[in-house]
Amino acid sequence: MRRIVHLAAKRGFCSGVVRALDAVERALKEGPFPVYVLHEIVHNEHVVAHLKARGVRFVKEPEEAEGGTLIFSAHGVSRAIEERAAALGVRLIDATCPIVKRLHRKAEMFAAEGRRILLFGKKGHREIEGVVGRVDSEVTVIESKEALLSYLAALPEEEKKNGLFACLSQTTLNADDVAEMRALLASSLRHLAVDAEVCFATRDRQNAVRLLAQQCEFVIIVGSPGSSNSKRLCETASAAGARAILLSDPEEFDCSLLDGVSTVGVSSGASAPEELVRKLLGILKQYGFEMVPGEC
């Protein structure tokens, strides 16, 4: 039996992650020191461990930075966090992804218009916390289609007809789920401003994984369980009909999962280093899998 590996063409670091990691690299060269990062710079434990080994200090609150440089992660922060950090007298570097920054501006604009903001996303996610913290008005975070249906069912008909609403989305959700919820809102609310979209990198990676799943029995997504976009890639592969797993560390891969498998697809989340993908490909090669020329 010939054993084949297909590799997703769109995978790994997105431009926002590259930008954030470049910001840390500059700080490590320029100082002042120590270099602190508020929360994880990106959601990948390998990236965080590598930077810790180089002296970067990860903190949960801005006030833990005692002099030196403080970097905001790619996921963005609230206005209150910005203000607290600015009062510390440290060098501040904002590594927030530009697409998340755009999301902040949209939330501020909709709030200024007096619209009730409905935000698709996962409660407690750093990106969501940052967006909610950009505006003074109430933001309703909606995690699923079921939660949206419950919200609409409880909303008085008068508000559906005359209330001002806006919908936004966390940038790393499943693109199809967001489109479905967006359409549901548009059919239910008369005065709705719509700007709910996942980012282009999320959409491209999900489309590539969907193609992989059409060609492969088994799809492996390299990425952290704490990474929203990585988990969505795994869900996308499963929904497209392939058996799929999320793999944080290739060295922990259970090779018994390859029993009876002839075609494997490999992709990685937007915060997963390419070296982890290459390590996994080396393991698959040891089990008789050969790479197909080109990428899906």
Q: Which residues are designated catalytic?
A: 127
- List, in order, residues 6 or more apart from 169 with CB less than 8 Å away: 119, 120, 121, 178, 182, 196, 197, 198
Phi, psi (5° rounding) for residue 165? -130, 160
Q: Rounded to whole angstroms, what are the CA distances from 154 to 87, 148, 150, 166, 289?
A: 42, 10, 6, 17, 54
Please say whether the beta carbons of 5 and 287 come within 8 A. no
Task: Please give the sequence-ordered ranges of beta strands (E in DSSP) within 223-280, or none if there are none.
Answer: 243-247, 263-268
74: closest CA among 103, 31, 34? 103
Question: Token pair 């992804």 is at which residue?
Answer: 97
Here the tokens at position 222 are: 């390299």
42: closest CA among 224, 266, 250? 224
- List, in order, residues 6 or more apart from 272 with CB less than 8 Å away: 11, 12, 13, 44, 46, 222, 223, 224, 227, 230
